[in-house]
Chains A and B, each alone.
Chain A
Amino acid sequence: MTVVRHSYFMTIRHVRELLRQPWWIAVTLVQPVIWLLLFGALFKNVVNIPGFNSTNYIEFLAPGVIVMTALFASGWGGMPLIDDIERGVTDRFLVSPVKRTALISGRLVHSSLTIAIQSVIIVVLALIDGAAFAGGFGGVVVMIAVAILLGASFGALSNGLALLARREETLIAIMNFVLLPLTFLSSAFMQQNLIPTWMQHVADFNPVNWAVVAGRSAVSANPDWGLIASRAGFLVALLLVCLAFATRAFRTYQRSV
């Protein structure tokens, strides 16, 4: 299929770009570690709160940090597209037979690979710290997969916004406005029944929380597969909406150039 082939060519291009920037690789690898250690130390005593069900905060935190990493990596995913637009690269592609979807999906596959690698690092660190991940290997795979689903959705959203805004400042403003609140309006750092009631209700509609809840359940001793399937389903639906938005954004972009 042409779309798959074109996506593959674009993925190669983005991966190669990343591999040529050693300091950026370093940042990509170190950042999730810092988050895990920082939040781990900051909220260490949370386990002592009555009603908190886990004894190892790092184990509790790991799915949250994985999702947060995926969210942030993808939320900024539109920035390189703005670079491409400014350098005329996007316009060159748009007058070639390349599939529009491939221009987005190549970036999403690339960021998904990054998220997978970052997630594995976090899992390994958590294991070293004594996390059990009773759900086993399969559970860990599911946890990473839902994080990637969330990442792909926000990646598509960010790329679509990049095409509409075409200015880094605008994208930065929107993402600053969205990313942190979504992270904190979830159970990434705190058990959902221990956060304020209104936040619990908001969290139910928060895609970030869908990914955290599903991921955490998948690695637990007794995964709730019904819950996991429903949250994963929501995320797939969200991804489709975001992909449709990003693809349509090309049309709006082309009308304005």
Chain B
Amino acid sequence: MWYKSTMLMESGTKIESSGAVVVEAMIEAEGLVKTYGKRDKAVRALGGLSFRARRGTVFALLGPNGAGKSTAVKILTTLTRPDEGQALVAGTDVVAYPDRVRRTIGVVSQGTGVDIQATGRENLRLQGQLYGMRGRRLEERASELLERFGLADAADRIARGYSGGMRRRLDIAMSLVHDPQVLFLDEPTTGLDPEVRADMWDQIAALASEQDKTVLLTTHYLEEADQLAARVAIVDRGKVVAEGTPEELKSELRGDAVYVELAEPAVDGAVRDALAPIAGVREVAVDGRALRARAEDGGRAVPSVLQALEARGIEVLSVRVARPSLDDVYLRYAGRTFQEAESEETEVKK
């Protein structure tokens, strides 16, 4: 196995025969490194990102803003080049043979790529023409996709008037016009209303069940990865920190999250010592006045936790118990919460 960094691999949960993996991998990223800008302004977007997605499955890259998901997609779709590392799509090197890769893939990038001055049908038609389609076959394909994505009525209206959800569906329709083997969807549902998102999930799930299509999905919603992906790679600061099926990832997180709000900022070590003796309480972390821990049974752990803190004179304002969330999965593997990661990103941006 060439990927070493993932914890699940190390723990031996899922090891496939390497021969089968080589044949089946439709997307392979190995040690991708990409730095934007120069010298003191340099931002390392990818720091050795590796994963592989098998043919005919949905593979999700899950991570907060700034994790490097879009950068990975841009490299895999030939938009930009890696500084280091190698990427293969359908067995073809994306740097050496970008033209060949482009014919194999469909891409929906983050944001939209819709030409808002053209109609939905014109957008689709041009997209097909660029892949060498023409005539009746192209017209029929365009109509079929417009129908399938619920755009038939709006097909001949200028896309400027489309809603966000309609533009997104048109993006996906365009990415499918040439019936690509591999599909890249970069945060396809970010910014959509919840109902529209659910609708989009159905569409993507339907795509995946189409024979032999491999889908790479990036997202920062755990539910989305959970619902759609056969395998998920958690990306943090340009690296894959964990990989597995959604079930595997969640089972690593057995137990509840316990959130305690302290009256005063506390020292991590002191709190950890206080809680260490309590059976079933793990992964204690303190950040200022926020204390986080994991417990086999949150409800039962709370009294002991409160008691232990009180014994050390640490005053508690509130306690909350929650089922595992995206934050917890992320915290477990990245060592900080999703919010922290996202706010770090915004600070860097400023």
Contact = CB atoms under 8 A, between A and B. Distances in A.
B131 interface: yes
B118 A16 contact: yes
Contacts of A9: 126, 129-130
B114 A87 contact: yes
A257 interface: yes
A13 B115 contact: yes
Contacts of A84: 115
B79 A6 contact: no
Interface stretch (B102-110, B148-156, B201-209, B222-230): B102-110
A97 interface: yes
Interface string A86-101: 0111011111111000
B130 A87 contact: no
Given A96-B102, A96-B131, A254 B115 contact: no
B217 to A, nearest CB: 16
A84 B126 CA distance: 15
Interface size class of B (residues with CB under 8 A): 20 to 34
A169 interface: no
Contacts of A93: 130
B118 A17 contact: yes
A88 B111 contact: yes
Contacts, number: 68
Contact of A254 (B36, B80, B127): B80
Nearest to B111: A88
Contact of B109 (A5, A88, A254, A256): A88
A257 B113 contact: no
Interface in A76-130: 84, 87-89, 91-98
B118 A95 contact: no
B112 A6 contact: no
A87 B116 contact: yes
A84 B103 CA distance: 22
Given A9-B126, A254-B81, A92 B131 contact: no
Interface size class of A (residues with CB under 8 A): 20 to 34
A255 B102 CA distance: 17
A249 to B, nearest CB: 15
A6 B131 CA distance: 10
Nearest to A96: B130
Contacts of B109: 88, 91-92, 95
A255 B81 contact: yes
B80 A89 contact: no
Nearest to A9: B129
B78 interface: yes
Contacts of B99: 97
B113 A91 contact: yes
Interface string B252-272: 000000000000000000000
A89 B79 contact: no
Given A16-B118, A20-B117, A97-B102, A92 B81 contact: no
Contacts of B118: 13, 16-17
A26 B34 CA distance: 47
> Which residue of B36, B80, B158 has the most chain A CB atoms within 10 A of its CB atom?
B80
7 contacts: A6-B130, A13-B115, A88-B111, A95-B78, A96-B131, A97-B130, A256-B36
> Which 3 residue pairs spanning A and B have beta carbons closest together?
A92-B113, A88-B113, A95-B77
Given A92-B109, A95-B109, A97-B131, 12 more contacts: A6-B130, A9-B130, A17-B117, A87-B112, A87-B115, A88-B111, A92-B174, A93-B130, A96-B102, A96-B131, A97-B103, A257-B74
